[in-house]
Amino acid sequence: MKNRYICALDLGSSKIASGLAFFSKKGNITNLILESVSSRGIKKGKILDPADLSDAISKLLDNIKVKSGINPTSLCVNIYGQDIITKHSHATIPLAERGNKIITKTDIQKVVEEARILGSSLEEEIIHQIPISFQVDEQDSIINPLGLYGHKLEVDLYLICVKSSYVQNINRLISHIGYEIKYFFLCGIAMSKVVFSEDLLKRGLNILCDIGSDITQIYLFKDGVLHNLKVLPIGGDDLTFELARILKIPFELAEEIKKSYATIGEYKGPEDKQVMIKKDGNYSPISRRII
């Protein structure tokens, strides 16, 4: 039997990337192919030119096709931009008319679905739904109520949504070039499984900061569960522009210096450490502390 595969697509403002992972029957990755092209037609998650974006995606997936020898027909697409909407939705269901009832998986699914419906909107698509906690009768902050006794069950459901117009536009664009979207996802949730060990993620607070070229996404995990997500309209390019302004150099040179020498936080290197940069045809020393 041939290995199964998943093809993911990340629509960023500086680059558009794709990864094709092959899996064995046991679910282990047997091969991983990564490709990227310069981004065109999209900025901060907003489609500015569908034709340019289509061309860039087609070129990217053609490269994947050549390297892998297969044509991926369905894609998993990362949600990126300022159109992400987060909200909490609560729902309560009775467990028994008289006496207590043991909570089953069906009860949990029912109360979660009820909260999903209550929190849904015609203008939004729900990308992720995450039960933050449950309450059984007067006992709250329960992570897993399965097997407990109670009269009623309540859930605090964290919904991550995106505007329906965005989903429709991406769906139409991907369909136009001959592919279909299997599902949308947030890369930060997937990244947390790799960045944090399972034991670390389940203990206390963990923060994942995903800095893009023009958008920064901050994820707050508590006891292994995503509790909050913030999208900031700033990114790596803003740091480069500021570096270029202070040093009075072109953006491209500032980007190279940032990647090679810049750090965020208190500078702890030697006081006289300097970097030679080419400015106005001549090389000039710049303090590492300033950078």
Residue 10, number of CB atoms within 10 A of its CB: 19
Q: What is the pLDDT of residues 231-246, one digit of tens each?
A: 998 999 999 999 999 8
Q: What is the pLDDT of residue 263?
A: 78
pLDDT digits (tens, 9 = 90+) for 246-287: 888 889 999 998 888 887 777 777 767 888 887 777 788 888
| 68 compared with 290, residue with greater pLDDT | 68
Q: Which secondary-structure segment (H or E) carries 134?
A: strand 124-136
pLDDT for 271: 67
Structure tokens at 284: 């000039």
Q: What are phi and psi of 14, to 5 degrees?
A: -100, -30
Look at strands 180-185 and 152-163 and give their pairing.
Answer: unpaired
For a pLDDT cut of 90, what percent of the chain falls above it? Answer: 54
* pTM, 2 dp: 0.81
Spatial separation of the C-alpha atoms in residues 166 and 164, rounded to whole Å: 5
Amino acid letter, residue 86: T
Q: How far lies 169's CA from each of 61, 163, 220, in Å?
A: 19, 10, 29
pLDDT above 80 (res 60): yes
Strand (E) or helix (H) holding 261: helix 251-261
User: Concatenated DSSP letters for 211-252?
Assistant: E-SS-EEEEEEETTEEEEEEEES--HHHHHHHHHHHHT--HH
Residues β-bridged to residue 35: 18
- Side chain identity, residue 183: Y
Inform me whether the pLDDT recorded for 1 exceeds 50.
no
Using pLDDT thresholds of 50, 70 and 90, give the confidence band for residue 89: very high
Tens digits of per-residue pLDDT, 2-34?
Answer: 558 999 999 988 899 999 999 888 888 899 999
pLDDT band (50, 70, 90) for residue 170: very high
Burial zone of 175 (CB within 10 Å; 0-12 exposed, 13-18 middle, 19+ buried): exposed
